[in-house]
Each structure stands twice: as structure tokens, then as C-alpha cells.
Structure 1
Amino acid sequence: MMLSPQLHKILAVAFFLLPFCAQGTFAGFLPFKHFFGGGTNKQQIPDPVPVEGNENGDTVHQLEHRISRLEGVLRLNKMITESGGKIFATNGKKADFDTTLEKCKEAGGSIATPRSPGENDAILYFVKYFNTYAYLGIKQSLIPGKFQLLNGAQPNYTNWYSNEPSGKGEEECVEMYTDGTWNDKKCNKNHLIVCQF
């Protein structure tokens, strides 16, 4: 069975957040195991109503319904945001730049890289909520003081803080401040992990 790109993204987000929910709850709200069935907790979301017709169509419809509910729970618990067709997610943990890249890749995504004011705001939501900085998927190019996307392309959108970047080649990574502006920084600081899918 072929999943739509949106379903694929939501499943990747769910697996990224799974270790965060290993204790059995999303921030004390909903037992995770109940979302996928099983258990008898009264907070359990009821199973979807079976649909008449094609078995594959029924399965896809039920998956879409369950994923839609998961998306709602994740939004309610401030775990995902959306903008520009991308889903941004955090597990609330911090890491250095290389570990952030690795964790996002393991989850089937990439480090958050805003390409518009709306996407910047989607990442800023987490930065404000957790009151901490986050790395972005932008690094210094071979030319000191010049920055590029991780694929080598020049960014179409930037939101540098006044007089930034200022590292003059010594600060190779980019962090987002709690006001949404960017700063060049060394890559060894622990910042909030924010991935995009």
C-alpha cells in the first residue's frame, strides 16, 4: 500500500517523538500506547468507525483518521507546527549541531531550515515555548562570513540579527534567538533539536 507524502511525514514525526513519549504519555496528557490501540484507560481515543467498501481503502481511511488524531495530539502538546508544506517537530531535547543533524536524519527528516517568514515563525514557536535557542540547517560556506544551506545552495530568505553574522569565520553554525532572528555561533553548544519533515 502506498502512503501519501503527508501520511509519510506524520509517521516520520511520530517515530521521531517516540523516545520522548517512552514514559507512556505526551507531557502527561494522553497515554501513547492508547493512541495506537490497546489498554483500557478512559482517556483512550475511540477506534475509528469501520468504513464500507474496499479493504485497502478502509485501511488507508483508518490510517488517515488515526494520523489526523495523532497530529492533533502533537499540536495540542506543542510538539509540531506546520508551514510551507513542511512539518516542524521537536522532542524537547537539546544537542550540539552534529547530533541535531544525526537525530533529524535518523527520524527521516532534516534539521529545520526556514525558507520563508512563515517557516521561521513555525520554528520560533518552539524556541519561544522552550525559551531556548535552536540550530538551523545553515552553515558557513568556504568563504568566511558567508552562509549557505546544507546542500550548498544560497538561502533565498534570511533573518539575521542586527550586525550578524559577525563570527568572521570562527562561528560556523547558525542559531535562532528567542525573537526569531539569527546569529552565527560555534557548533558545539547544546540547543533545542528542531527537525523538518
Structure 2
Amino acid sequence: MMLSPQLHKILAVAIFLLPFCAQGKPAGFLSKFSFKPFYGDRSNNEQQIPVGIDQLFPPPAVLHLNKMITESGGKIFATNGKTANFDATVEKCKEAGGSIAAPKSPGENDAILYFVKYFNTYAYLGIKQSLVPGRFQFLNGAQLSYTNWYPNEPSGKGEEECVEMYTDGTWNDKKCSKNLLIVCQF
């Protein structure tokens, strides 16, 4: 059986956020679907995670999916509320079946901004400096068709190779070593 692209995205997001579900109850956008996780029967009322999943992920933490997922332009954006450096962010998103969030329109920028504002912290974007200092591109090498640079940015002149989103939605070039909010797209 082949999964629709939308269902594939939903499953990838669910797996990405699984460790952060509270008491096995889907919240946020997942409640719109007729998806019910299997938790089995436990006499002591503890959660039972489906076979195999508990080996992949630690037991769920007490954190609802509300405020953790948004959609724009046919993409689903998600965060786990954690921070990491740029390379670790790229890897975490890849492991989850997505990629680091890279806005291609004002609507997608706003979807990422939602998390940045909610967690009141900056986030890396899937944009990096090209071989030409001061010029930026998507990680796949495609040129930027949409930008939202803060005034006088980018300013790193080759020393700041990554891009972060400020809490007002504008962008700044930044060194890649700081831990910022992980936001993925699916």
C-alpha cells in the first residue's frame, strides 16, 4: 500500500514529535485525524508504546503537540522545542524524514516565525553561504527567490556562513556553532 504524500508528512512529523507527546494523547492538528496510537492494556495505567518504537525513542516527556506544528505552502513545519547547532539541526531533521526549515515565501517565513516567537528564541534556516562570500543559497544549491534580511544583513563577509531567524521574522547571517531552535519542514 502506498501512502499519500500528505499522510507520509504527517507520519514523519508524528515520529519526530513522538518523544514529546504527553500521556499518549495526540494534540494540536493530530486530533483532526482519526489516528489513535496503540497503548495496549496496562494494569498500573502506565503507557505502553507500540513494539519497536520504545527502542527507538525514550519514554514520552510531558509536552503537548499544541504549538509544535504548523502548515504553509503545502509544507508542514514542526519543532521539538529543543536547540542544537546548525549541523546537528540538519541531522535531526534528516533523521525525522524532513529537512531544516527553509522559507520560500512570506507565508512559510511566518510559519517558522510562529515557533521562534512562541519559544522566544532564534532558529536556524536551511540557508547557507555559497562559495561566494556574502551570497547565500538553499542547502541544495538553489538560489534564494525570497529573502527577509534584517537591514544591512548579511554582514559577515564570509565569516558567518549560516542564517538565523530573529524573533521579528527577519534574517541574520551567523556562525554555525550556536545552539538555536530546531525547526524542520516535511
Cα distance in structure 1, aligned partners of 2:89 and 2:39 = 33
Corresponding residue for residue 14 of structure 1: 14
Does 1:160 find its partner at 2:137? Answer: no
Corresponding residue for residue 102 of structure 1: 91
| Structure with the larger helix share | 1
Does 1:194 find its partner at 2:161? Answer: no
| Structure 1 stretches lacking a partner, 5+ long | 41-72
- Shift in alpha-carbon separation, 1:26–1:112, aligned structure 2, 3 A: farther
CA displacement at 1:142 relative to structure 2: 0.6
Corresponding residue for residue 147 of structure 1: 136
Query: How far does the alpha carbon of each residue in 1:155-174 deviate from its partner, in whole angstroms, 9 at most, with x for none?
Result: 10000000000001000000
Question: 2:85 is aligned with what amino acid?
Answer: D
Structure 1 moving runs of 4+ over 6 Å: 26-29
Cα distance in structure 1, aligned partners of 2:154 and 2:27 = 40
Corresponding residue for residue 36 of structure 1: 37
Corresponding residue for residue 2 of structure 2: 2
**What is the percent sequence identity of the aligned residues?**
82
Does 1:93 find its partner at 2:82? Answer: yes
- Shift in alpha-carbon separation, 1:15–1:86, aligned structure 2, 3 A: same
Corresponding residue for residue 135 of structure 1: 124
Corresponding residue for residue 178 of structure 1: 167
CA displacement at 1:24 relative to structure 2: 3.5
Question: 1:36 is aligned with what amino acid?
Answer: P
Cα distance in structure 2, aligned partners of 1:194 and 1:103 = 10
CA displacement at 1:183 relative to structure 2: 0.1
* Matched ranges for 1:75-90 at <5 A: 77-90=66-79
SS at 2:183 equivalent: strand
CA contact (8 A) 2:81 2:181 kept: yes
Q: Which has the larger radius of gyration?
A: 1
- Shift in alpha-carbon separation, 1:27–1:15, aligned structure 2, 3 A: closer
Equivalent pairs counted in the alignment come to 159
CA displacement at 1:18 relative to structure 2: 1.3
CA contact (8 A) 2:24 2:39 kept: no
CA displacement at 1:27 relative to structure 2: 10
Cα distance in structure 2, aligned partners of 1:178 and 1:110 = 21
Q: With structure 1 as the length reference, what TM-score do the two structures score?
A: 0.75
